[in-house]
A = this chain, B = another copy of it.
């Protein structure tokens, strides 16, 4: 009953105190001063739980990421936080580990009214699982989405991005272009694989034997392992498109350990443009995603939807960019 104390201290009613806190309604300057003085001497700070209960909003948004030690997600999360912060929202960050049960548990925070809305970076396959229960909840899908699902989304055109990357390799004269990283659970991986095949097809090329190759985790170790396997299956391979940067860096290492040179013998292109890409030698050519802006747009979309629940669900496609460095 803390606002009560302030009211007593200032000799006014709690309504007046509330009015000066939120400066809503009219209050005479002299009483405003008195109230502010009381707040200062008592060190009062309005209880947000009570306020939230009364106003039926938490000003918290739930962010679901499959793995936040992945720098790519870190960039997006930063964008979300920046935009949300500007509008007075905070972020409840949850690592689902791409586990549907975890996701369901965390989504309770939404039905619980502990959060006002959610941004989900989980694989679309997972999103689909919880789809029915969450149809009417305010959330947006980021990076992984199904445009047909009726859920607002933001992302890039993964297929086109992959096609662009592979075309670049073709233009530079490469003819035996392999791909690694096709994890079926992730939409981005399926799309990139599709774009890769499109580019080959339009140039009248076929994937070298063993390509495209699926990964389980799109990380350095898998990149190394798969590339080693690939090189022995396709010795003529002269270029490699990887679905993520760590994968590409692992591949670079495998190529090197096989006694070949990047980019002379094998050109390599990665995906995402995380900081790592600029830290290795040769520097990694890669498809950049606008991570910060992806996050910002997701947050903006969500908050607009919260303001006006009748808003039709929108999709936002952001542009990718091929960053040409040394590896291709």
Contact = CB atoms under 8 A, between A and B. Distances in A.
A58 interface: yes
Contact of A78 (B69, B75, B114): B69
Given A46-B112, A275-B220, A69 B68 contact: no
A250 interface: yes
Given A68-B74, A256-B281, A279-B276, A113 B49 contact: yes
Nearest to A77: B68
Interface residues of A, number: 42
A91 B92 contact: yes
B75 A69 contact: yes
B108 A45 contact: yes
Given A250-B279, A253-B281, A279-B220, A48 B78 contact: no
Contacts of A113: 47-49
A180 B93 CA distance: 34
A278 interface: yes
B49 A249 contact: no
Contacts of A249: 279
Contact of A109 (B48, B69, B109, B280): B48
Interface in A70-93: 71, 74-75, 77-78, 81, 90-93
Contact of A45 (B111, B278, B279): B111
A166 to B, nearest CB: 24
Contacts of A155: none
Chain B CB within 10 A, most for which of A91, A250, A275: A275
A52 interface: yes
A128 interface: no
Contacts of A129: none
Interface string A257-281: 0000000000000000001101111
A250 to B, nearest CB: 7
A94 interface: yes
A50 interface: yes
A94 B220 CA distance: 29
Contact of A90 (B71, B109, B253): B109
Nearest first, the 9 closest Cβ-Cβ pairs linking A and B are A93-B93, A48-B112, A69-B74, A48-B114, A45-B111, A49-B53, A49-B52, A220-B279, A47-B113
Interface of A: 45-50, 52-53, 58, 60, 68-69, 71, 74-75, 77-78, 81, 90-95, 108-109, 111-114, 220, 246, 249-250, 253, 256, 275-276, 278-281
Given A49-B53, A69-B74, A77-B93, 14 more contacts: A45-B108, A45-B111, A45-B112, A47-B113, A48-B112, A50-B53, A53-B53, A60-B92, A81-B93, A81-B95, A90-B114, A91-B92, A246-B275, A253-B281
